[in-house]
Structure 1
Amino acid sequence: MSDNKKSFILYTDLKSVVEKLITKDREDGTNNTGELFYHILKYVNDEDPKPSNFIIEMAFEPIKLQLKRDLIKYEEIKEKNRQNALSRWGKARKKDSKDMQSYATAKDRIISNANDADNGIDNDIDNDIKDKINKKEIEFKESIKPFIQKYGKDICNNFYLYWSEPNKSKTKLRYEMEKTWDVSRRLANWVNRDKAFNTRINGTGAEPNYQKL
């Protein structure tokens, strides 16, 4: 989660998934419901948890995608508030034009010693990395668009959100860390995996073969 963000939203439509898990737990004597909530809490605390089984992995996937969307909204709001604060500060400086010399620029105030200067350089490097990541995300999204008509927007969007997740150092997207990559085959496998989960969780068929995407 983002720095200083101490809460997250849990949506009411999760109730249907939890009900199915509870039903299976009661029948099989398992505890997948509790495991799912524990997995969610570990994830939002940046512990990078590994799912304990197939059911937890598949039940958590749509929750994870929603958490990522919420985090993006949070960052956008935070940035908007920062820009508003800067704008108000800029107007205050302009109003007090008689004493303009008493104000230092933001750059002058921040870079006051050698260490701060190094931090300024690091920020420039970080911005370059962000630009590269954003470019990769756009290119990746374009590679998925041709499949929207075949698989639908929701599936393609979830596929994009999952495989465009950056690593901890923010230098690579998830799909770039795979040894091999073919969008067409990965999407087909993604759809089969989604169907397999629905079959397993609804108890409408035999346990499917599981293949890692």
Structure 2
Amino acid sequence: MNTNIKPFYIYTDRNSLYIKNINESAERLASNIYAYSANIDKDNNIHILAIDSIGRVIHFFNNEGIWKKKIIRKCFNSVRNIKDMRLYILNDYFNVFVVEKYPLDDNLYKISHLNFNISNYNMFRHTIDKVFKDSSSIYKLNIDELSNIIFQYKTIDILSRNICDNVIIFNNISRKWITSTPLLRSNQISLNEKNISSNIKSDIFEYCYSIKYKL
């Protein structure tokens, strides 16, 4: 376990990705970076997931004081419509949510969920299509005490313009998405902000994301 973690912040400047520890010089990790997200694992190791300008997902990690990178795979043919990216680490699995805007509709989005373990980088990908953005948010995400991901979003009927609420659950054991039912929801473990904040160990991540990616 890394017990000597120092205060730091991560940022981009002219499409280059940097990390800077307090009172130390900034270190450039990569160029041609379009989006990124970071989190800290249970052993206090910093992990950064980024998408470069040609749509590749890249993992940055620190090994004995040296930053290294692993190009996982190309996941996106185009990056210009990517509006948000979030990383959650649950039971050693990385969960990345990437939001893409439809080019011809300001209220419709596509959300990709990438799930993998860095021991082999075998990636599971699930796409949630035609997500409707209401006045408050594009989606809501909660994590229960079993590390299952509860994902809430809205869709809109093109003809009637009726808005529908949807809930799907990512089972942390089977690594599969299932559709929520009233019975599942009634038996669901109570969810609150504490469940989420325990997985995001530095509020500076949330602050930086709200500035850069707020929709």
TM-score over 0.5 for the alignment?
no
Of Structure 1 and Structure 2, the greater helix share is in 1
Of Structure 1 and Structure 2, the greater strand share is in 2
- Compare CA radii of gyration and give the structure with the larger one: 1
Q: Report the TM-score when normalising by structure 2.
A: 0.25
Q: Report the TM-score when normalising by structure 1.
A: 0.25
Greater RCO between the two (CA within 8 Å, min separation 6)? 1
